[in-house]
Amino acid sequence: MSKRPRTLETFFAQPSKRARAVPDDAASNMERNTTASAVSNHPSYPFAVPHLPPELQELLNFAPSAEGQIINDRPDLDLLYYQPYVPKEASRDLSEFLRRELFFYRVGYKIKRGSIETDIDTPRFTTVFGIDETARFDADGRPVDATTGKATSNTYKCKPRPMPQCLDALRQLTENSTGCTFNFALVNYYASGNDSISYHSDDERFLGTEPAIASFTLGAKRDFLMKHKPTPANDASETKPMKLPLASGDMVLMRGLTQSRWLHSIPKRKGGEADKGRINITFRRAMVKGGTENYYHYNVGNGEVYKWDDSKREMVQWRNPLSN
């Protein structure tokens, strides 16, 4: 059995000072990266990512905060819905921490249907961490074959990177409470109600059959819509669309036939709660290297790095202070 990626202690620096829990402005954001008690780093990271503050880590140890509700009253649907999973005392701080400390991308890509090529701009900020089951990270953070331990970096077109501690801690909690195994963390930031994702299913072959996907909401409440894929076999009343109003700290575990038979989306919403910004974390398990290539292509791409600017209250392009 192949090993799962782990946040490696050799990636972590140990500066002597500890940052304040919440910075006052953009300058404080930069200060946090050098004064946090511990950070996660990797050659593919544009900058280091601080570990969770001890007080926040302690609160997460009480997760899940509520028992998961099984939703399987419709054909082919199998959900475990936590309201919430992350304790209420921690969800706001965790949301602000991840928005402030992670790096994001606004990915653009092309799709081709027949002879027609279309430019697509992802309507949300994205980032991704992890590597598929065929590989793992060695002590120096290099991708190596999961079985032989030999270097595999030249077989990937992308640059896989391990999860920072702030995400890996949540992954481990999720695995322990669900019995599922994950090797990828995809993070979406919906900056406003204009950011969305259209109806789709995560049924790619590289996820294997009947994949389990854990989806967390932090920050603004957003509607999560689901509808059954068109089929003449089921009665329309049994497969009518459903809506889950996902609040901060909630988690939905989608499993069984859900991905192969159902579609889900986060629709646009004008103003109000949606404009406060929502972070979505999904933990997944990619089985082959095609999954690694796919996730980095569509969630990192070749675009600019973005980082939260607390003084402007928005994502801005990050400029490396060491470059000219």
The verdict on whether residue 190 carries a ligand-binding annotation is: yes
Query: The tokens of 260 are what?
Result: 């192969």
Q: How many Å apart are CA 191 and CA 208, to the nearest integer?
A: 32
Helices (H), 142-276: 165-178, 258-261
For helices 26-35 and 88-101, the axis angle rounded to 10 degrees is 90
Is 284 annotated to bind a ligand? Reply is yes
Is 188 a known ligand-binding residue? Answer: yes
Q: Is 41 labelled a binding residue? A: no
The one-letter amino acid at 314: E
- The reply to whether 126 sits in an annotated binding site is no
Binding site annotation covers 78? Answer: no
Distance (Å, whole) CA 324 – CA 322: 7
Phi-psi region of 166 (alpha: psi -120 to 50; beta: other; left: phi over 0): alpha
- Known binder of ligand: residue 203? yes
Is 82:66 a contact under the CB 8 Å cutoff? yes
> Could you please report the per-residue DSSP string of 147-165?
TT--B-GGG-SS--BPPPH
The answer to whether the annotation marks 292 as part of a ligand binding site is: no
Instruction: Please report, in range form, the residues annotated as the binding site for substrate.
Output: 203
Instruction: Please report, in range form, the residues annotated as the binding site for 2-oxoglutarate.
Output: 188, 190, 200, 264, 278, 282, 284
Instruction: Please report, in range form, the residues annotated as the binding site.
Output: 188, 190, 200, 203, 264, 278, 282, 284
